[in-house]
Structure 1
Amino acid sequence: MHAHLAGNHGCTLRPIDPFLDTVDRYDFSYIEKTVYEASQAESPLGHSIRAALQVIEEAYERFGLDGVTLSFNGGKDCTVLLHLVAAVLSRKRLTQQDKPIRTVYVTYPNPFPHVDAFVDVCAKRYHLDCVAIPGPMRQALQHYLDISHPKPKAIFVGIRRNDPYAENLTYFDPTDEGWPSFIRCHPIINWSFKQIWDFLLLLKVPYCSLYDQGYTSLGSMENTHPNPDLKTTEEGRYQPAYMLENELHERCGRTTQKK
């Protein structure tokens, strides 16, 4: 993998995070302890963590361990969701040494190597059964259902209220007509951009290194740029994503509405 890569936006990408050299399995009991402790805080973040944990717990109660899959693409939101899922699996004693977490990774054309590398390491560290399928999303999910045994009844999705077409979503929603049939589960639907970053930083959860280079929303190399709000006075340098002040500008580095 090349140490430096350049996209069509003219920004030179810095080396992929050295975290990716580590593939040791995470201690889910530690994740459980730290996440559930954070959920007890009397703060907006504590409330949001509690709500998300309750939704995840309900999903496993309703659909069972084999009935739920996680949609994971290496982005900040689904990284938070994955960490929350790991905490619940440990709390409910659903983790098994030989039973990985069912995961589907719908890939973009011309993806960032940083993202693919991050997903690969997360698959090892969180013990994911990660099936990578090229998009578009509708066809990819149908293919995933077709090849899955048993077929999942629900899929965790790391979508939030300010994402496109998410205004009216609830914690549990059936897919729209014409889409593969399953329940979409949205545990972090009401989280803000700030809460996503507060969670990642508070719990020291590793995330894709592109976010430290000014990217605030990730897609393919063709449609994703560093956020102009984070540009510094140094040529080609940007502040990290968590420094973004106006959350409404989260997608200002994207040239399409796909996520």
Structure 2
Amino acid sequence: MSVEQYQKEEEGQKQQQQQFFKRCQECYNLIVQFQNDTLPSGLVPSRHEGYQYDPELRKSVKAKIQLSMQRLDESISHHGLKEIAISYNGGKDCLVMLILLMATIYKKYISTTNEMGSHDIHKIPADYKLDSIYVNSETPFPELAEFINESTEYYHLNPIIIKDSMKHGFEHYLSNINTNIKSVIIGIRFTDPFGENLVKEQYTDHNWPKFLRIHPILDWKYVEIWDFLIGTNVEYCKLYDKGYTSLGGVENTIPNPKLKLPRSEEYLPAYRLRDNADTLERLGRIKKEEWKQSEFHTSSKSTTTH
């Protein structure tokens, strides 16, 4: 590589990092405004006028934000930013996790000053990029694939897409793509499959490639995830507005039957699922052949949860 090529590449990395820091600042400002009820879009943006605002729920979300950002700050301090990546599949939980992480990075390294009155941004490596790992063996919805591409570009992440099983995909990533990574931030919640016995940090087991799993939104509830996304007015995958509440592959995911409108083929948006939402969230995870033969597909009776 010539000196000119090296300088050009170095300048490109610098610009990419500056753009990433800018998004981190935007995420931080978003959090501050959300916490203070000062967002320009108000408590509920007009485009989500069907959302039922609950002041007690909003209060709970604000507390969860503080706790999650505290956990993320501690994890970054203990393990080092350069050794941390995120698992990002474009879903609602991962999106909340990403925004909280980027806000934490800004607060920790850029917004605060040390005793000498200067920023701690110099503690971030000059070539730093936040790897967003998407390991998937299923056929994704086009809308989801599009959102993953758009959001990783918008937030200036370093997208790593691997078509494989989760276990083999992470093994390949850690061994061949980024050997510096020792920890992965994952947007799993207690109510997710295999989530009930997790703690905020723990190492992989059962012959998985070894890395530390960090779970900053472990104790968030479904309705809290949606109150955050609605309240902050951020863009999310369009499938959620079509009644999908949990996103898997094309062959095993349908809109949530509980959101189906009576005598119609249309569905309410995902944020309208409120009662027993954590229990009913994955009701749309079913093979389509089974769904076609089920009572949910043939019944015109209303099962909507408001």
TM-score, length of structure 1 as denominator length? 0.84
More helix by share: 2
Shift of residue 109, structure 1, vs aligned partner:
2.0
Q: 1:230 aligns with which of 259, 263, 267?
A: 259
> 8 Å contact 2:28–2:102 — kept in the other structure?
yes
Change (3 A) 1:134 1:119: same
Given residue 171 of structure 1, which amino acid in structure 2 is its aligned partner? K
Q: Percent identity, aligned pairs only?
A: 37
SS at the partner of 2:106?
helix
Q: 1:69 aligns with which of 85, 94, 101?
A: 85
Change (3 A) 1:36 1:176: farther
Shift of residue 168, structure 1, vs aligned partner:
1.2
Change (3 A) 1:148 1:40: farther
Q: 2:174 aligns with which of 130, 134, 145?
A: 145
Shift of residue 201, structure 1, vs aligned partner:
0.6
Structure 1 match to 2:218 = 189
> 8 Å contact 2:87–2:134 — kept in the other structure?
yes
Structure 2 match to 1:34 = 30
- Alignment partners' CA distance in 2, 1:118 and 1:244: 22
- Alignment partners' CA distance in 2, 1:199 and 1:123: 20
Structure 2 match to 1:133 = 162
Given residue 251 of structure 1, which amino acid in structure 2 is its aligned partner? R
Given residue 151 of structure 1, which amino acid in structure 2 is its aligned partner? N
What number of residue pairs does the alignment pair up? 233
Q: 1:253 aligns with which of 277, 281, 284?
A: 284
SS at the partner of 1:43?
helix
SS at the partner of 2:284?
coil
Deviations 1:41-74 (A, max 9, x none): 8821111111110111112111111100100001
- Alignment partners' CA distance in 1, 2:79 and 2:205: 20
**Aligned positions of 1:18-33 closer than 5 A:** 27-33=23-29
> 8 Å contact 1:155–1:184 — kept in the other structure?
yes
> 8 Å contact 1:35–1:87 — kept in the other structure?
yes
Structure 1 match to 2:243 = 214
> 8 Å contact 1:39–1:50 — kept in the other structure?
no
Q: Answer with 204-213 or 56-65: which moved more.
A: 56-65
Structure 2 match to 1:177 = 206
SS at the partner of 1:222?
helix
SS at the partner of 1:81?
helix
TM-score, length of structure 2 as denominator length? 0.71
Shift of residue 239, structure 1, vs aligned partner:
0.2
Given residue 29 of structure 1, which amino acid in structure 2 is its aligned partner? Q
- Alignment partners' CA distance in 1, 2:132 and 2:186: 11
> 8 Å contact 2:82–2:128 — kept in the other structure?
no
Q: Answer with 187-196 or 227-236: which moved more.
A: 227-236
Change (3 A) 1:40 1:150: farther
- Alignment partners' CA distance in 1, 2:232 and 2:125: 24
Q: 2:135 aligns with which of 98, 102, 106?
A: 106
Structure 1 match to 2:66 = 50
Shift of residue 97, structure 1, vs aligned partner:
8.6
Given residue 77 of structure 1, which amino acid in structure 2 is its aligned partner? D
SS at the partner of 2:64?
helix
Change (3 A) 1:85 1:91: same
Computing the radius of gyration from Cα coordinates, the structure with the larger value is: 2
Structure 1 match to 2:290 = none
> 8 Å contact 2:189–2:217 — kept in the other structure?
yes
Change (3 A) 1:207 1:96: farther
> 8 Å contact 1:40–1:50 — kept in the other structure?
no
- Alignment partners' CA distance in 2, 1:75 and 1:163: 13
SS at the partner of 2:202?
strand
1:117 matched to 2:146? The reply is: yes
Shift of residue 171, structure 1, vs aligned partner:
0.6
